[in-house]
Structure 1
Amino acid sequence: MKTKHLLLSAFFLICLFSCNNNDDEDLDLVTVAKPEFVSKSQFRKMVDIKSPESIKQSGKIYAYGNYIFVNDLDRGVHIIDNQNPSNPQAIKFIKIPANEDISIKNNYLYADSATDLLVFDISNINNIQLVERLEDVFNIYDYRVPIEAVATDYGDFDWENDIIIGWELKKEKRENVDELIFVDRMFNDAVMAASVESAVGVGGSLARFQIVGTYLYTVGSYSMTVFNIQNLSNPVLEKTQHAGWNIETMFAANDYLYLGSTNGMYIYDLVNPASPEYVSDFTHWEGCDPVVVDGDYAYLTLRGGNLCGQLESVLEVIDISDKTQPTLAKRYTLENPYGLGIKGDMLFVCDGSAGLKLFDRETPVNLNLVRTIENIQATDVIPLPNSLVMIGDNTLYQYKYLENNISFLSSYKLN
């Protein structure tokens, strides 16, 4: 019922604005996005296990055993054999439409596919099998309206039975562009708000999936979904709960979940792992916000500009020794930060086009920039036990650890 009220309100405003101005002189030529979509039944037949192919847009990275898994945004997962980090090799591509995140435990790979959760058996990497699909377990999915679009035209798209798999951009004359932008964004927001000792792999700081014990935790823009994975091949949806607002990332440490949002960090305890409980939050200005935790301190990067906010980009050090009252300990200026990771006393920060930055943690709060690896695009990083893995601009980089430094091992172009 709430969904219908929100949509009807949005359509009413659209009609109201469209009726106010009919003169040709009020028409502006704008970019309109129209969804390319298929029925859910068609969508669910699109999963496939394929030979290696070029990546189109690299997303998040995940490490498991001797393999690195690279998300190809909305297309699926590339599998890289990394037994020899100096010479990695692509071996498989799992085609998963509308995929953004994965997590792996004991050779079972969990992946989102729009509103569904998929389970793959990867025990035989040469014979990967889809073994389970939980349908419509996620309230919403990120169907990524192109940033170039001033307006959207959903036409005969059926929100209940169709899935958006792409967009067509067209130039069209529309009335009152400023009003149109306001109404269109409000309509999209209304739709989004209404939809509502084992071997475990390691994800980067941009991850939205985390496995802790026998539970898989996933977050969307405002909700957390909990799955019981005691039976790895047959996960059970435990619950979906409100998690905060504009949630982008999740990090697990010491029986707590730390959710990074565009306006802060939320802390949840796992005293009852089936039902994470809110503890506190730390708020800051608007900015894209991954988080990692080590001991009593959390490290957050805030990327300003564009869709992430209008303020400066920084690295924040948050004292979380008292989980009920996290406090800002120190702030460092950056240029264009994305993911980050910790290995011993070193903090690695992906600073976008400004490269990979290495900070020596003289203390958890006092950071000393010891090196910047320039002339690369740095997006996300995973500090593995024996090597550092980083991705940026469709290239996988690997480095060997040195004392207070790293040395180049390899780069692998994914396209």
Structure 2
Amino acid sequence: MALSCDKNDDADYEFVQVASPQLMSKTAFRSSVEITMPQTIEKAGKIYAYKNYIFVSDVNKGVHIINNTNPESPKAIKYINIPGNEDISVKNDFLYADSATDLVVFDISDINSVALVERLEDVFNVYNHNIPIEADVVDYAKIDYETDIVLGWTLTTERRKKSDERFIDIAINDGANTTAESATGTGGSLARFQIVDNYLYTVGNYEMGIFNIQNLAEPILENTQYAGWNIETMFQAEGYLYLGSTNGMYIFNLVNPALPEYVSEFIHWEGCDPVVVDGNYAYVTIRGGNVCGQLESVLEVIDITDKSTPTLAKRYELDNPYGLGVKDNTLFICDGTSGLKLYNKADPLNLSMTKVFEDIQSKDVIPLENVLLMIGGDTLYQYNYLEDGVELISAFSLK
């Protein structure tokens, strides 16, 4: 028996990371929303605060509701099963959540009797912004867009014939900050949803959705527009939206809230990138290494006094940064495995680290009026504010 040892054959092939879709029929998908008793969290995602409640997402699966009336002893009370969920926002007891391609609305005025009141179908292009960043190739051919919903992606290494088409045609489209005491809740810096007055703004990989929520129970998709490239996060402050992308920060004004207007962009090296704004400065963490881009991880302080010309004012080295937040003269940075770091930002061009909480995993923070929320690993942390820092109130296991 003869074996072929043609080296040219091997030269025609390569190993690539292939993203294959995890599918559910649209019929099953749209009938699977369910409100249940508390469940174990499989993979903790983003956090959101509203009144005395904390909402923790279970990545691509749903939202856990925690009663935080007593921060020393928070209690999980409900779970909303929402397949394909990543973000939420709340206003006046109405909770808005993405569910893959759909926007769903819940009445949470009675937390013991949460009810689904509306579903807008095919308003999000979920197939782009949930693709693993490590993917070289995406198996779109496996998707029947008429009958299927993509809930997530499975990443495998495969030997495939070399092709000039490396990666994705992302043009495929299957369809069209306040405090916790106010009527609108507060998300962390990793959020993709923001509510401003009578509008809910959402961002995907490159597209912004603008929903009129004047009638809270019946939102209307007024517009969709190009938002930038590789958008990951969105922050709102004083009539502007600040979008964090892997390559920079985009600024839009809300003079016409139904159609945000592009103002400018600030370009930085490639990296995973949330942004928060305080006064005349935007604070951007850029996480390098792995799939996020460059090797360096930094905090960039951007002067936005002139919104049309944002300029880099200062750069500080970090280890493994994720989310961040601001309260008064303190900047909180979640530096991943290096813990939670506190900086005095009285002078943004001369930040000084005042405290570091090591030996914890930190991912995102929400600086509320009376308490600091932080999520990291499988734990929800809460801290009291002190004159010179913060002190731990509780560490609530999400498992």
Query: Normalising to structure 2: TM-score of the pair?
Result: 0.91
Choose from 122, 126, 129 the match for 1:136: 122
Task: Mark the CA change 1:327 to 1:46 in structure 2 (over 3 Å): closer, same or farther.
Answer: same
Choose from 333, 336, 345 the match for 2:329: 345
Please, which moves more after superposition, 305-314 or 144-153? 144-153
Aligned counterparts of 2:148 and 2:193: Cα–Cα separation in 1: 25
Task: Mark the CA change 1:201 to 1:386 in structure 2 (over 3 Å): closer, same or farther.
Answer: same
Partner of 2:372: 388
Task: Mark the CA change 1:248 to 1:34 in structure 2 (over 3 Å): closer, same or farther.
Answer: closer
- After superposition, the C-alpha distances for 1:162-220 in whole angstroms (9 at most, x for unaligned) are 11234556676x344xx35x6351xx334557877960000000001000000101111
Residue identity matched to 1:183: E
| Shift, 1:41, TM fit | 2.0
Aligned counterparts of 1:102 and 1:251: Cα–Cα separation in 2: 14
Aligned counterparts of 1:68 and 1:311: Cα–Cα separation in 2: 34
- Which has a greater percent of helix? 1
Q: Does 1:189 align with 2:175?
A: no
Q: Does 1:328 align with 2:308?
A: no
Q: Does 1:247 align with 2:241?
A: no
Taking the TM superposition and a 5 Å limit, the aligned residue runs for 1:16-415 are: 23=9, 33-142=19-128, 144-145=130-131, 151-154=137-140, 156-167=142-153, 174-176=159-161, 179=162, 183-185=165-167, 188-190=168-170, 192=172, 199-415=183-399
What secondary structure sits across from 2:264 in the alignment? strand
Partner of 1:16: none
| Shift, 1:363, TM fit | 1.4
What secondary structure sits across from 2:349 in the alignment? coil
Query: Normalising to structure 1: TM-score of the pair?
Result: 0.88
Aligned counterparts of 1:263 and 1:154: Cα–Cα separation in 2: 25
The answer to whether the Cα contact below 8 Å between 2:16 and 2:160 also exists between their aligned partners in 1 is: no
Task: Mark the CA change 1:64 to 1:141 in structure 2 (over 3 Å): closer, same or farther.
Answer: farther
What secondary structure sits across from 2:302 in the alignment? strand
Aligned counterparts of 2:202 and 2:298: Cα–Cα separation in 1: 26
The answer to whether the Cα contact below 8 Å between 2:383 and 2:392 also exists between their aligned partners in 1 is: yes
Residue identity matched to 1:189: D
The answer to whether the Cα contact below 8 Å between 1:34 and 1:155 also exists between their aligned partners in 2 is: no
Residue identity matched to 1:128: V
What secondary structure sits across from 1:42 in the alignment? helix
What secondary structure sits across from 1:55 in the alignment? coil
Aligned counterparts of 1:313 and 1:120: Cα–Cα separation in 2: 39
The answer to whether the Cα contact below 8 Å between 1:251 and 1:293 also exists between their aligned partners in 2 is: yes
Report how many residues are paired: 389
| Shift, 1:23, TM fit | 4.7
| Shift, 1:286, TM fit | 0.6
Structural RMSD (CA): 2.3
What secondary structure sits across from 2:126 in the alignment? coil
The answer to whether the Cα contact below 8 Å between 2:303 and 2:311 also exists between their aligned partners in 1 is: yes
- After superposition, the C-alpha distances for 1:223-270 in whole angstroms (9 at most, x for unaligned) are 111000000000011100111111111111001111111111111111
Partner of 1:6: none
What secondary structure sits across from 1:94 in the alignment? strand
Task: Mark the CA change 1:141 to 1:112 in structure 2 (over 3 Å): closer, same or farther.
Answer: farther
Gaps of 5+ in 2: 1-6
- After superposition, the C-alpha distances for 1:127-181 in whole angstroms (9 at most, x for unaligned) are 0000000011113345745577665545542134311234556676x344xx35x
| Shift, 1:366, TM fit | 1.8
The answer to whether the Cα contact below 8 Å between 2:344 and 2:352 also exists between their aligned partners in 1 is: yes
What secondary structure sits across from 1:239 in the alignment? strand
Task: Mark the CA change 1:107 to 1:308 in structure 2 (over 3 Å): closer, same or farther.
Answer: same
Partner of 1:15: none
Aligned counterparts of 1:283 and 1:142: Cα–Cα separation in 2: 22
Aligned counterparts of 2:16 and 2:267: Cα–Cα separation in 1: 36
Residue identity matched to 2:169: D
